[in-house]
Amino acid sequence: MSVPRYWREIPYRIRLEAKKCKLCNYVNYPPRSKCLKCGSTEFEKYILPKRGKLLSFSIIRNPPIGFDKKTPYVIGLVELEDGTRLITQITDIDINELKIGMEVEQVFRKITEDGDSGIIQYGVKFRPKNM
């Protein structure tokens, strides 16, 4: 992961900025050049809600490079309160407690790091609400 490749995504991956379409109100996340629903190019900046529910989850047993220390860990598909969906990690949970439909909230966490001298990558994960 090069530094610019990490740094330029900070608004979207850390502040969870999206592009809301001024014509149809669809929230484009990740942001696009044209609205997925109506093709408009008129957007306003929009911050995604911090809470949502778990639509589906999977427990990773075969980790990709850089995630070995965390295995097993949970990947989830979360639907936020406004209907926007994202792929994220579900954290701070015993894997036997996972349930589709459970309420989750956003937390700021370390995602991974590039070996011994690479950059440390941060981002958002979600944990069960009201912990």
Partner 1 sequence: MILRRVAVISYGMTKVDKHWNKSLRSLFGEAALNAINKVKNPKIDAIIVGNMCASDLSDQNNIGAIVADELGLTPITAYRVEAACGSGGAALLTGFSLVSSGVYNVVMVGGVEKLTDNIGKMTSFSLGKAADAEYELFYGATFASLNALLMNRYMYVYKTPREAFADFAVLMHKNGAKNPYAQLPFEINREIALNSEYIADPIRLYDCAPIGDGAAVIILCSLEEASKYTDSFVEIIGISGASDTINIASRDDLLSLKATVTAANNAYKMAKVTPKDIDVAEIHDTFTITAAISLEDLGFCERGKFDKFLYEGAFEPGGIVAINPSGGLKSRGHPVGATGVYQAAEITMQLLGEAGKMQIPNAEIGLTHNMGGVGSSVYVSIMKRVK
Kindly tell me which of 107 and 111 has the beta carbon lying closer to partner 1: 111
Shortest gap between Cβ of 27 and partner 1 (angstroms)? 10
Shortest gap between Cβ of 23 and partner 1 (angstroms)? 18
Shortest gap between Cβ of 55 and partner 1 (angstroms)? 6
H or E element at residue 4:
helix 3-7
Kindly tell me which of 41 and 56 has the beta carbon lying closer to partner 1: 56
Kindly tell me which of 77 and 129 has the beta carbon lying closer to partner 1: 77
Residues that bind partner 1 in the complex, under the rule CB under 8 A: 9, 13, 29-30, 36, 55-67, 70, 73, 75-77, 85-89, 100, 111-112, 121, 123, 125
Shortest gap between Cβ of 102 and partner 1 (angstroms)? 12
H or E element at residue 12:
helix 10-13
Nearest C-alpha neighbor of 6 from the set 58, 62, 66: 66
Q: How far apart are alpha carbons 52 and 24 in whole angstroms? A: 22
Residue 63 near residue 71, CB atoms below 8 Å: yes
DSSP assignment of 79-113:
EETTS-EEEEEE-SS-GGG--TT-EEEEEEEEEEE
Kindly tell me which of 60 and 107 has the beta carbon lying closer to partner 1: 60
